[in-house]
Chains A and B, each alone.
Chain A
Amino acid sequence: MLGMAVFFSVAPFVLMVAISLKPPGEVFSPQFTLLPQQWHAVENYTLAFTKQPLLRFILNGLFVTACIFAAQALVALPCAYALAKLRWSGRNITFVFVLLGLLVPTQVAALPLYIGLWKLGLLDTYAAIILPSTISVFGIFLMRQYFMTVPDDLISAARLDGLGEFAIVWRIMLPTAMPALVAFGMLSFVWNWNDYFWPLLVIQTETLATPPLGVVFFNNAEAGTNYGALMAAATAVTAPLVLAFLFAQRWFIDGVTMSAVK
């Protein structure tokens, strides 16, 4: 039973890699074989990387997700600390707004954000992809929940040592909340790497495309003829995520579970 489920779960991945190894003649053969009779891997992958700037797409993905997460952490951590541990007049209302933000799907903001970026002349730039994602209400929420469990004495001791509130965020709270931050980072990485809707709207130039958009450019360019090379591109784009996941699965799954335990 479980075996069957695992089969269906993993089958598309296997299929993707299998096709990426085959020459065009074999891809459309009526008899399906797992391994190619004739290995065409080199040709397919070379075509994938040369016909379109696939490496560029992958590098864009890394760049964009890194920038986004860095910004998210810089913005969310201080705010989470302020919400969890400090007393200030705007605290409750801000938390209410964070919760409201969690309810709203990101696509709702698409039209006005697009118009705003258009007016600022920022369409079709890295900034267009990165800016809207710099605020992560999910990150604020997650880190706040975690920060609330940090003992107050730790913070009082730090204050007695002369640490300012800003320093406390980075030198006291951050180290204790590392697991939550890593989980947040993993989720942010996967979510932003895979985002298709927003880059589709704001990016026209090939060289700025993120991986999903890049694959679609590739698909359009090939006009659906060279499946082997297309699958090679798809594999290349999916591989970083799969590798990251296999490497850090504990954190991934913990992150997902943590966010569910609201």
Chain B
Amino acid sequence: MAETTLRLPVAAVALRPAPRTGALAEAFAGWTLAAPAIVLMWLMLLGPVVAVIVLSLTDWTLGAPAFRWIGLDNYLALTKDRVFWISLQNTLAYVAFTVPLSVFGGLALAMLVESASSLRGLYRTLLFLPVTSTLIAMALVFQFAFHPTVGLVNQALGAVGLPTTDWLKNPSTALYALGVIGIWQAIGLNMVLFLAGLKSIPRDLYEASAVDGADGAWERFRRVTWPMLGPSLLFVVTITAIRALQVFDTVQVLTDGGPNKATSVLLYQMYQEGFSFLRTAYAAALTCVFLGMVLLLTWMQTQLMEKKTHYG
């Protein structure tokens, strides 16, 4: 490799740092090692995102030979689409139902496991198990459990005199029945994340608060645990909410968006529009709305994080 040396006045040469002979080789290595990843990232992930946004501005349907640019017409059509508003509402209701329960359930479990005197590992394993399971398979198990007559849920409820219904076929309960499945799978993950967060709280803080006279379990929680868990809590809420926004599997397999669109959610509508009705550009607009919501959640998280660090 050629090395170029410049003839400069001695003083200037003394002030300049010696050129790194390996710099070019290092840059070359950097680019070539990262190249496959960069190419694939644009081909499979970032490129398609741009493509979806562009697609949503056309009227293309799959297989059509030509298309026109129609600007924001798809989005205008969305605002007039009754099913879109139902899907949006259902998705938000699903998120509002599952997120608090999954997050605080996970926190409660983490604290219970943390304070267990023995068998902590076993509890953690058994509680995390649902996270690894195949949702489709477990959804079918839940379908059986929710069965109006032979299902376990109604048998148990009936035994103690509580009201029963056909959970998955009743329009007012179907979405929440799916929500239960979602919570079941998410809670173990949140527990593990909170366990990590709890571990990072310095023990001295609890001792200090005890010295101050606040030694009861509730006091310790209120004064030390809860404030220190701030970042963890924010993180867990955000990822749980994003995952809840992505709900699809249970809807597609158990209820097909029904009964009467009661369980139609954003991604399910996108799937129908794009792959059943082949209204590709319209589905792209739906995808962009979905993406927008996810990005909004992430942005909110970063904003709240900023606020917290300014205080801390």
Contacts and interface: CB of A to CB of B under 8 A. Distances in A.
13 contacts: A6-B126, A9-B129, A13-B141, A75-B36, A87-B30, A98-B41, A104-B49, A111-B52, A113-B48, A137-B41, A197-B271, A234-B141, A252-B132
Interface stretch (B89-97, B187-195, B205-213, B217-225): B187-195
Interface string B293-308: 0110010000000000
B274 interface: yes
A196 B249 contact: yes
B34 A9 contact: no
Contact of B52 (A5, A6, A29, A112): A112
A101 B46 contact: yes
Interface residues of A, number: 95
A242 B34 contact: no
Interface string B35-64: 011101101111111011001000000100
Interface stretch (B3-11, B21-29, B164-172): B21-29
B41 A10 contact: no
B290 A107 contact: yes
A110 to B, nearest CB: 8
Contacts of A137: 41, 45
Contacts of A197: 248-249, 267, 271
A227 interface: yes
A235 B134 CA distance: 10
A131 B132 contact: no
What does DSSP make chain A's interface, helix, strand, loop or mixed? Answer: helix
Contacts of B275: 114, 201
A8 B184 contact: yes
Given A211-B134, A242-B129, A246-B125, A101 B140 contact: no
Interface in A2-28: 2, 5-6, 8-10, 12-13, 15-16, 19, 27-28
Given A82-B34, A87-B30, A238-B134, A131 B44 contact: yes
Contact of A75 (B37, B232, B271, B294): B37
Given A88-B31, A101-B46, A212 B41 contact: no
A234 B137 contact: yes
A162 interface: no
A238 B130 CA distance: 10
Contact of A19 (B123, B142, B144, B232): B144
Contacts of A49: none
A9 B125 CA distance: 10
Nearest to A31: B155
Contacts of A231: 140-141, 144
B302 to A, nearest CB: 10
Nearest to A61: B134
A79 B46 contact: no
Contacts of A103: 294-295, 298
A260 B196 CA distance: 9
Contact of B193 (A104, A132, A260): A260
A230 interface: yes
A260 B236 CA distance: 9
A116 B42 CA distance: 13
A6 B113 CA distance: 11
Contact of B132 (A88, A164, A190, A215): A190
Contacts of B28: 88
Interface in B131-150: 132-138, 140-142, 144-145, 149-150
Contacts of A132: 44
A13 B142 CA distance: 10
Nearest to A17: B141
B133 A13 contact: yes
A237 B132 CA distance: 12
B37 A241 contact: no
Contact of A135 (B41, B252, B271): B41
B258 to A, nearest CB: 15
Given A2-B113, A6-B126, A108 B49 contact: yes
Please list the 6 inter-chain residue pairs (A to B) with the smallest Cβ-Cβ separation, ordered nearest first.
Answer: A88-B30, A79-B37, A109-B48, A234-B137, A165-B29, A78-B33
Given A107-B287, A111-B52, 14 more contacts: A9-B187, A12-B141, A13-B138, A32-B152, A78-B34, A107-B267, A108-B48, A135-B37, A165-B25, A194-B133, A212-B249, A215-B134, A242-B132, A249-B125
B283 interface: yes
Q: Which of A27, A104, A190, A241 has the most CB of B within 10 A?
A: A104
A105 interface: yes
Contacts of B152: 15, 32
Interface in A243-262: 244-246, 249, 252-253, 256-257, 260-262
Contacts of B196: 257, 260-261
Q: Which of A32, A98, A260 has the most CB of B within 10 A?
A: A260
B107 interface: no
Interface in A55-107: 74-76, 78-79, 81-83, 86-91, 94, 97-98, 100-101, 103-107
